[in-house]
A and B are shown apart, each in its own frame.
Chain A
Amino acid sequence: AQKITQTQPGMFVQEKEAVTLDCTYDTSDPSYGLFWYKQPSSGEMIFLIYQGSYDQQNATEGRYSLNFQKARKSANLVISASQLGDSAMYFCAMRVDFNKFYFGSGTKLNVKP
């Protein structure tokens, strides 16, 4: 069975500090893609970063990086130098089938000034 687990319903971080949002996944497929999305209060889902199951290096996109530990089946999102605009819901997702993305339950991040 395919499953994504986000165990942190809510997180607080001080502005300018780094924060790690946890994501673990479960699949028996050797090929998969892992994604992180941000959903501000407006509701629109924004793609942040992608990691492939065969990628040797951790993905990075600006202030976002993905801490990919394949043996532990974890794909944590690290946001460096948090900004007030980073306050939002964050969803981890997995694609193992071209017809479906599996989503975690999300983590609400609050950045404090």
Chain B
Amino acid sequence: GAVVSQHPSWVICKSGTSVKIECRSLDFQATTMFWYRQFPKQSLMLMATSNEGSKATYEQGVEKDKFLINHASLTLSTLTVTSAHPEDSSFYICSAARDRGLQETQYFGPGTRLLVL
């Protein structure tokens, strides 16, 4: 099966610092990568979609200057939470799709738990 890694799995940081989360597709090339945020006992909330070599498409209400997404290659996308604050504490999950067909599932990374003190 397709494997997606995400690093780090846990991060604790002080308020005001920036945190970078990496998402890698290990055994396939991902045309599209997705970034989600999940609060406890809630569903996934799509933050943005990124396609390799182009700017990310952000969902309404997601600050693009706050959550910087870079999709540098077909196997790597990064999410940087800039000037993190306690309200940014959450579970962040990335996923990757091999192609754009509607039948193509997304493969998820294991997630990153961010705690901002």
Residues of A within 8 A of B (CB): 31-33, 35, 37, 42-47, 50, 52-53, 91, 95-96, 98-101, 103-106
Residue of A nearest to B109 (CB): A44
The CA-CA distance from A33 to B103 in the complex, in Å, is 5
17 A-B pairs (CB sep. < 8 Å): A33-B102, A35-B105, A43-B91, A43-B113, A44-B108, A45-B44, A52-B103, A95-B102, A95-B104, A98-B32, A98-B102, A99-B57, A100-B46, A101-B106, A103-B44, A103-B46, A106-B43
B46 adjacent to A96 (CB under 8 Å): no
Residue of A nearest to B102 (CB): A33
B8: Cβ under 8 A from any A Cβ: no
B105 adjacent to A50 (CB under 8 Å): yes
The CA-CA distance from A98 to B103 in the complex, in Å, is 10
Count B-side interface residues using an 8 Å CB cutoff.
26
A45 neighbours in B (Cβ, 8 Å): 44, 93, 95, 108
Asked, given contacts A45-B93, A99-B57, A104-B43, whether A32 binds B102 with beta carbons under 8 Å apart, the answer is yes
Residue of A nearest to B99 (CB): A98
A99 adjacent to B32 (CB under 8 Å): yes
B101: Cβ under 8 A from any A Cβ: yes
Q: Name which of B32, B102, B107, B109 has the most chain A CB atoms within 10 A of its CB.
A: B102
